[in-house]
């Protein structure tokens, strides 16, 4: 029995729907919903396929119902849950995701055959679903939620694979060269790619080939932000010999259209209202970014020593029990984690919040003058849209690569030192020095001016007739013709 959430199916007006297919995880789902909103606003009916992993990630039903209530053009179709996956010899959840999507293909095939969609848009980890689209004669696109520089790397990965028999983990600090992007050390490659014998690596490698075979790649960026990478990709310089160069559609920056203010959110914004313009450093490390207790104390000592105003989102340290890997983390015990007297000493010039803050609205607030970020692409784009300069502190996924691109290519961030050391600890002295540099130095002022220039370019790209808006309009016109 297939479960439908929200309104009736999106094709009730007679048009064939655009079907969006995110992989599991709230971050992937939210990105697809934002894409669905802008497609729906242009008159396309949208159905988002939801696939649940065989582990608990929390109930999404009320959230999805709220999305449909606010956006009648969007409906959700939940595939039957896979209760147990075949064993996969890997420690990387990405390999499990690839396997989950593969075993869900028969259910997807049944749904698509009945829905007759105009197009199927998948995220990176749902690439195997394009086999179903081709079988049914449905055009298949990727929605690539990282930037064009990461896209260039992925398109080129099969070339790198053929050139060497070494795994990235065996290359040390050897530089990886890809057309259109700065060289980066092999240590900064994505963790699931480190061992070329791991199933996760082969899942990525297959997806990289599918990028070339797709009908197009929709990228959450704008051309002027990553011009050199976009030009290299479009010119086919990243694509393996013998494979076609995919059509690339830069429609970004696509960020949250609104922030749902959860518990504690109003406190952040009210506190910011009382702070001077551009005086606050915002420290936030993504929805799953978590530090050890030792690192939290180093940040606390450093931010206090910097003398700057700050708003800091603190999460509980990660749990060592692999059985609890996907459990919702507990609220952090600030008294146990922070140095004794820290909250009292910094009261007035600092605010520590537990677990969550309304990041988009915080970055857009006039009082925020700097952002210490994990370099997740959504966070980068929110900072660019708000004109807030960044200190880069990457943690996972493609974030180490983003750090290189942000610092060396886009020149919108400066990295903290120590995150890639053997200990993996950024010292308090480094936190203090970099935060002061960002907020007080001439170098920080220049960084802020560059970020403001990028902000203006971003808004220009999104205005009516702007480059990203025109690209989206052309894509929608093409899909409308396929959706009579």
Q: Report the range of poorest mean pLDDT among 173-177, 318-322, 397-401.
A: 318-322
Residue of 119, 198, 193, 103 whose CA lies nearest to 477: 119
- Asked whether the predicted pLDDT for residue 10 surpasses 50, the reply is no
Give the pairing type, strands 119-122 and 18-21.
parallel
pLDDT in tens, 22-63: 998 877 888 899 999 999 999 999 999 999 887 665 667 888
Helix axes 467-481, 442-462, angle to 10 degrees: 30
Q: Render the burial of 395-413: b for 16+ CB within 10 Å, e for the rest.
A: bbbbbbbbbbbbbebbebb
pLDDT value, residue 11: 43
pLDDT value, residue 2: 37
Higher-pLDDT residue of 480 and 287 is 480
- Asked whether the predicted pLDDT for residue 75 surpasses 70, the reply is yes
Higher-pLDDT residue of 309 and 287 is 309
pLDDT value, residue 289: 87
Q: How far is the first Cα of the chain from the last one, in angstroms, to the nearest whole number?
A: 29
Give me the phi and psi of 113, to 5 degrees please.
-60, -35
pTM above 0.85, yes or no: yes
CA 295 to chain centre: 24
In whole numbers, what is the pLDDT of the chain averaged over residues? Answer: 92
pLDDT value, residue 7: 35
Q: How much of the chain exceeds pLDDT 90, in percent?
A: 81
The number of CA neighbours under 13 Å toward the Cβ of 396 is 11
- The domain over range 3-256+463-481 is classified in CATH as 3.40.50.2000: yes
Class of the 265-460 domain? alpha beta
Of 92, 107, 123, 249, which one is the catalytic site residue?
123
pLDDT value, residue 258: 73
pLDDT value, residue 250: 98
Higher-pLDDT residue of 314 and 2 is 314
Phi-psi region of 449 (alpha: psi -120 to 50; beta: other; left: phi over 0): alpha
Q: Report the range of poorest mean pLDDT among 57-61, 288-292, 349-353, 448-452.
A: 57-61
pLDDT in tens, 86-114: 888 888 989 999 999 999 999 999 999 99
- Asked whether the predicted pLDDT for residue 399 surpasses 50, the reply is yes
DSSP string, 293-352: HHHHHHHHHHHHHHT-EEEEEE-PPPPS-GGGTTSPPPPP-HHHHSPTTHHHHHBTTEEE
Token pair, residue 37, equals 């909103």
What mean pLDDT is predicted for residues 63-78? 92
CB 215 within 8 A of CB 142: no
- Alpha-carbon distance of 71 to 420, in angstroms, equals 43
pLDDT in tens, 180-219: 999 999 999 999 999 999 999 999 999 999 999 999 999 9
Cβ-based neighbours of 91, under 8 Å, separated by 6 or more = none
Active site residue 170: no
Active site residue 123: yes
pLDDT value, residue 205: 97
User: What are the start and end residues of each CATH 3.40.50.2000 domain in the chain?
Assistant: 3-256+463-481, 265-460
Higher-pLDDT residue of 121 and 329 is 121
- Asked whether the predicted pLDDT for residue 8 surpasses 50, the reply is no
Return the residue matching tokens 């429609």.
Answer: 251
- Asked whether the predicted pLDDT for residue 413 surpasses 60, the reply is yes
Per-residue confidence band for 261, with pLDDT thresholds at 50, 70 and 90: low
pLDDT value, residue 12: 45
**What H or E segment, with its residue span, contains residue 415?**
strand 413-415
What mean pLDDT is predicted for residues 117-144? 97
pLDDT in tens, 332-360: 999 999 999 999 999 999 999 999 999 99
How long is the chain?
A: 484
Of 28, 77, 107, 249, which one is the catalytic site residue?
28
- Alpha-carbon distance of 381 to 414, in angstroms, equals 16
């Amino acid at each position: 029995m297939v479960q439908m959430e929200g309104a009736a199916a999106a094709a009730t007006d007679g048009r064939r729907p655009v079907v969006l297919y995110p992989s599991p995880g709230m971050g992937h789902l939210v990105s697809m919903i934002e894409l669905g909103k802008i497609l729906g606003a242009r008159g396309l009916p949208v159905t988002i396929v939801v696939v649940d992993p065989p582990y608990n990630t929390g109930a999404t039903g009320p959230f999805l119902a709220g999305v449909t209530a606010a956006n009648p053009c969007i409906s959700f179709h939940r595939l039957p849950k896979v209760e147990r996956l075949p064993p996969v010899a890997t420690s990387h959840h990405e390999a499990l995701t690839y396997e989950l999507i593969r075993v869900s293909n028969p259910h997807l095939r049944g749904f698509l055959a009945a829905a007759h969609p105009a197009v199927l848009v998948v995220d990176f980890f749902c690439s195997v679903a394009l086999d179903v689209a081709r079988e049914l004669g449905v055009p298949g696109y990727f929605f690539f939620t990282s930037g064009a520089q990461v896209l260039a790397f992925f398109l080129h990965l099969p070339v790198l694979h053929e050139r060497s028999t070494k795994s990235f983990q065996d290359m040390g600090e050897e530089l990886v060269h890809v057309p259109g992007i700065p060289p980066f050390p092999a240590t900064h490659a994505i963790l699931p790619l480190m061992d070329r014998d791991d199933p996760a690596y082969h899942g990525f490698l297959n997806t990289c080939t599918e990028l070339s075979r797709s009908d197009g790649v929709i990228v959450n960026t704008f051309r002027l932000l990553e011009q050199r990478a976009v030009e290299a990709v479009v010119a086919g310089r990243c694509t393996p010999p013998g494979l076609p160069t995919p059509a690339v559609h830069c429609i970004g920056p696509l960020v949250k259209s609104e922030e749902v203010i959860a518990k504690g959110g109003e406190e952040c914004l009210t506190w910011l209202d009382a702070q001077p313009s551009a005086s606050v450093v915002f420290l936030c490390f993504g929805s799953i970014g978590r530090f050890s207790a030792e690192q939290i104390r180093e940040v606390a000592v450093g931010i206090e020593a910097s003398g700057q105003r700050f708003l800091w989102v603190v999460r509980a340290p990660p749990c060592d029990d692999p059985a609890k890997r996907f459990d919702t983390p507990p609220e952090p015990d600030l008294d146990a984690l922070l140095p004794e007297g820290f909250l009292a000493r910094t009261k007035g010039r600092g605010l520590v919040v537990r677990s969550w803050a309304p990041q988009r609205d915080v970055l857009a607030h006039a009082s925020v003058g700097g952002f210490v970020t994990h370099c997740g692409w959504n966070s980068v784009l929110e900072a660019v849209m708000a004109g807030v300069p960044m200190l880069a502190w990457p943690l996972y996924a493609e974030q180490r690569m983003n750090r290189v691109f942000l610092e060396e290519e886009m020149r919108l961030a400066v990295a903290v030192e120590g995150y890639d050391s053997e200990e993996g600890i950024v010292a308090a002295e480094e936190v203090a020095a970099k935060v002061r540099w960002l907020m007080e130095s001439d170098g920080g002022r220049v960084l802020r001016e560059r970020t403001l220039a990028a902000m203006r370019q971003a808004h220009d790209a999104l205005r009516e007739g702007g480059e990203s808006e025109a690209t989206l309009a052309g894509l929608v016109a093409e899909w409308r013709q396929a959706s009579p």
